[in-house]
Amino acid sequence: MNEPVIKIKNLSASYGKKIVLKNINMEIPANRVTAIMGPSGCGKSTLLRCINRMHELNPEADVHGEILFHGENIFNIHPVKLRRRIGMVFQKPTPFPTMSIFENVIAGYILNGIKLSKSEKERIVEENLKKVFLWDEVKDELHKKGTFLSGGQQQRLSIARALAMNPEILLLDEPTSALDPKSTAKIEELITELKKSVTIIIVTHNRSQAARVSDYTAFMYLGELIEFGPTEKLFTVPRNKKTEEYLTGKFG
């Protein structure tokens, strides 16, 4: 296993009285794709949101335990600074509707009040649209609204926006569940390419997607981490009966 970039220790999380995560312990290796899978409501998205402190945006949210990012507890890092280093892309494509494609890519800089020269802006936009294989499709329409794009293109634009801040980790929360098979294939190809430069954690309810794109897989059930290990091993010889039942479609 590569050196872990994230170590999760005894993590529990709740919303009000509802406990969503129970005592999670796992290590996320650098420059690999880690998939988190399990049936709906098992805590996958909450775990992802805890990693960049989005979970705490809910006033009822409560978190116990530690998440170490390069050995530093993320709860001691300012959330805005942390989210620059740990980017997130949601299930539904989220281009900012009032912004052009160009502005969407550099939105993180605009919203954080970071000044860039014209040439820096142009470089960041071109570089990151190329990373998500979108440049050739939109280079002549950069000043049109981002919402003018197809769903799959919008999702790649959302990924470009997250990448523009040079994060070390990219969190993807079911990034293809709203997309057609062709767009899904493009995003999966993109994930494989991106792990050369960024650590990726993807939440998916799609077992075959987890098998295709990830190096490591975590299986969660009712807020607990049931099993975690190399994807190939977990899919072929799961150690836990619950994992086996989930993989063979008995539930979820």
pLDDT at 157: 97
Tell me the per-residue pLDDT of 136-155, one tens digit each, with 9 for 90 and over. Answer: 999 999 999 999 999 999 99
pLDDT at 79: 94
The CATH number for 148's domain is 3.40.50.300
pLDDT at 96: 93
Q: How many C-beta neighbours within 10 Å does residue 7 have?
A: 16
Q: How confident is the model at residue 122 (pLDDT cuts 50, 70, 90)?
A: very high
Asked whether residue 84 is assigned to any structural domain, the reply reads: yes
**Which of the pair, 121 or 205, is modelled with greater confidence?**
121
Tell me the per-residue pLDDT of 173-217, one tens digit each, with 9 for 90 and over. Answer: 999 998 999 999 999 999 999 999 999 999 998 999 999 999 999
Number of domains in the chain: 1
pLDDT at 251: 80
Asked whether residue 29 is assigned to any structural domain, the reply reads: yes
Residue 20 has pLDDT above 80, yes or no: yes
Residue 118 belongs to domain spanning: 4-247
Asked whether residue 252 is assigned to any structural domain, the reply reads: no
